[in-house]
Structure 1
């Protein structure tokens, strides 16, 4: 009986091993991508990030106003709001213009940090807390700098998230 000797080409073996590894990696990558695209947590995280970005911008807009560009600033306020808050701004605009023109102030806000405090993506409601540094400059005297925390309620509209309520966050020691 003759013994047949087989020799294996190392390049063929390496090519087969690499092909199998590449196919496995492609399958795993495809599955991971599919799984991530259909993950509710990813969609929720995206909604949270959208609400936070819109909330921070809206709170910054509401704390920034230049008497020299008053109409533009108030238009920004109105574009950032919805619901009762929007209605109050529109109805009080004329009186507010007189106050700011008389005071000749410039306020600028910078967002220091922000967080979503609640999110109901299905209902289209969210809450945010935003820490700000607001600088108010009057025609005379040094600019006044104040840091504050604002609580905002957001409502999702056809144009995106908008402020529907805004107020100061409580400050103080609540430890008993």
Structure 2
């Protein structure tokens, strides 16, 4: 019988050497530094998009409630989340019926700004869904800007960019 030489069938050990591990970590650190600024812009853009879509949804809900209840229903800016404020800065807003019954409250994060293009203390919809006035809202987070445009017929839409100081 032949005997096997153990050195011929030595086990192959798997693993990484320290220089290989350090090289991979250095590459990952460089990639993280390159990707992070782009990721920040992506997050800011998504926050602005989300806030614009939330405002659009609230305008649509306000219109829907007005038609459903056959009454005037309004969306107004609020600083304390309980009362309407006389401001073009819509950091928060209330959906109200009959000027006192709060249907919905929305608070906007402080790193976002929502401003009306005109001095508007509220946007009202009548029982057929028509808006009290046409208005444009600028929704902004850093350099990322969206416009929410409301027409007199009650339809609203979101558009990217084109914001000006309101």
TM-score bracket, normalised by the shorter chain, equals 0.3 to 0.5
Q: TM-score, normalised by structure 2?
A: 0.42
TM-score (structure 1 length as normaliser): 0.40
